[in-house]
């Protein structure tokens, strides 16, 4: 789904990175040389995901008379891709299907032991090395978003190979510098190689993508181009003017705290008051009805996406920076605890024979608790940007 979204957006304009990777890949493939993974590093909105999608579609034409296998994963897009062990396990299953392993895509002795999964991955790579006229490309977007586990013996990303077979290529993107990733010292040293590390901030790796939120394909002078964070903040400002700080912040906080998104019905259950049928609903007071909710969704289409997961169509942020900005502008520890309590009660209502009779009263109390907390913050003369840790 994420890949199709990037391809349909067609924001790629030009970059020197794909050609450099193509030349290096073909050299290693023809010479049978082992090599490290390719790292693409850049800030929010620099075009990392667009670049990966472009390479994914173009690489099939890089080789003649060679079967090309491609696997692409988006870190933290789903719960199963949010933790390094789960992601690696899913990748192993996909590789086993691609390679048509006789014992199937899931070995009989499969377990969640980190050492077992790591060995399983290494064995699959060795199996790829024995293939003829076949090549495997593995892409992982936003590698830095993978969460570690308590059972990680060494570094969380220690499973990343420092030396790949001649016909296996791994391309990852990250917003975080290599020094800050959960890698071993040997990995950090090896992955810094200039031929395999592409910092999009450098001139030799210049990447041009269509400006976010516009149809312009010609970039403006560098001095006039706002950062991606500034563009998102400006959009948040516009949403506040249109729907009120209380209304927009409440919606943004629910989406942020849910992490993997909520359905439209779930959001309406949280945002639409039900205790008074005669109540005049106003988004500036923090409440929405069907009409205003649809309106705000349309206005936020640049920063929201719909994601199908577990048979449900979820509304989530399109960019992870939206969550970061929401936490900075609107969220305090008290508000965070209050919202998480509401989400818990939404999915795990209290047991009891009279739970249905109490639902309206509970919703009223939950809504009042959030409003009172937010009003205390705003009533003290602190705007959303003046909260502790907020931007000036």
Write out the chain's pLDDT in tens, 392 residues: 566 776 666 788 889 999 999 999 999 999 999 999 999 999 998 999 999 999 999 998 999 889 999 999 999 988 889 998 889 999 999 999 998 887 777 777 777 788 888 999 999 999 999 888 899 999 999 999 998 876 666 788 989 999 999 999 999 999 999 999 999 999 999 999 999 999 999 999 989 988 766 544 434 445 567 889 999 999 999 999 999 999 999 999 999 999 899 999 999 999 998 776 667 788 888 899 999 999 999 999 999 999 999 899 999 999 999 999 999 999 999 999 999 999 999 998 876 545 455 455 555 554 554 454 444 444 444 444 444 334 43
Tokens of 217: 């394909």
SS3 117: helix
Cα–Cα dist 33/164, whole Å: 9
- Which residue is associated with the tokens 């309206």? 360
Residues facing 211 on adjacent strands: none
SS3 33: coil
Inter-residue contact 142 to 42 (CB < 8 Å): no
> Of all helices (H) and strands (E), which one includes residue 26?
helix 17-31
pTM, to two decimals: 0.82
SS3 64: coil
Cα–Cα dist 126/120, whole Å: 10
Cα–Cα dist 51/58, whole Å: 11
Cα–Cα dist 360/274, whole Å: 7
The runs of H, that is alpha helices, within 244-281 are: 245-258, 264-271
Inter-residue contact 255 to 324 (CB < 8 Å): no
**pLDDT for position 7:** 64
């Amino acid at each position: 789904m994420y890949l199709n979204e990037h391809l349909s957006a067609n924001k790629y304009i030009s970059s020197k990175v794909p050609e450099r990777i193509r030349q290096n890949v073909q050299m290693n493939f023809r010479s049978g040389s082992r090599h490290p993974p390719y790292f693409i590093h850049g800030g929010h909105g620099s075009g990392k995901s667009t670049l990966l999608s472009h390479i994914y579609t173009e690489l099939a034409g890089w080789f003649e008379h060679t079967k090309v296998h491609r696997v692409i994963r988006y870190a933290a897009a789903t719960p199963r891709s949010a933790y390094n062990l789960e992601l690696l396990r899913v990748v192993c299953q996909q590789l086993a299907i691609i390679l048509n392993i006789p014992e199937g895509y899931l070995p009989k002795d499969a377990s969640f032991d980190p050492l077992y999964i790591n060995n399983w991955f290494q064995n699959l790579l060795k199996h790829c090395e024995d293939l003829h006229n076949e090549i495997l490309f593995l892409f992982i977007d936003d590698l830095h978003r993978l969460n570690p586990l308590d059972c990680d013996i060494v570094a969380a990303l220690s499973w990343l190979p420092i030396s790949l077979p001649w016909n296996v290529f791994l391309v990852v993107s990250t917003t975080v510098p290599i020094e800050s990733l959960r890698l071993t010292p040997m990995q950090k040293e090896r992955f810094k190689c200039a031929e395999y590390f592409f910092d999009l901030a450098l001139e030799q790796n210049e990447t041009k993508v269509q400006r976010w939120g516009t149809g312009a394909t010609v970039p403006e002078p560098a001095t006039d181009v706002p950062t991606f964070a500034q563009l998102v903040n400006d959009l948040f400002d516009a949403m506040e003017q249109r729907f009120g700080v209380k209304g927009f912040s409440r919606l943004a906080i629910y989406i942020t705290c849910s992490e993997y998104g909520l359905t439209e019905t779930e959001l309406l259950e949280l945002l639409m008051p039900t205790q008074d049928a005669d109540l005049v609903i106003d988004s500036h007071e923090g409440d929405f009805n069907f009409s205003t909710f649809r309106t705000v969704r349309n206005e936020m289409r640049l920063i929201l996406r719909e994601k199908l997961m577990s048979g449900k169509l979820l509304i989530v942020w399109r960019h992870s920076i939206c969550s970061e900005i929401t936490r900075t502008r609107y969220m305090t520890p008290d508000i965070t605890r209050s919202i998480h309590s509401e989400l818990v009660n939404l999915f795990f209502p209290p047991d009891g024979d009279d739970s249905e009779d109490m639902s309206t009263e509970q919703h009223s109390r939950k809504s009042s608790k959030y409003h009172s907390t937010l009003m205390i913050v705003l009533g003290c003369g602190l705007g959303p940007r003046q909260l502790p840790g907020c931007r000036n």
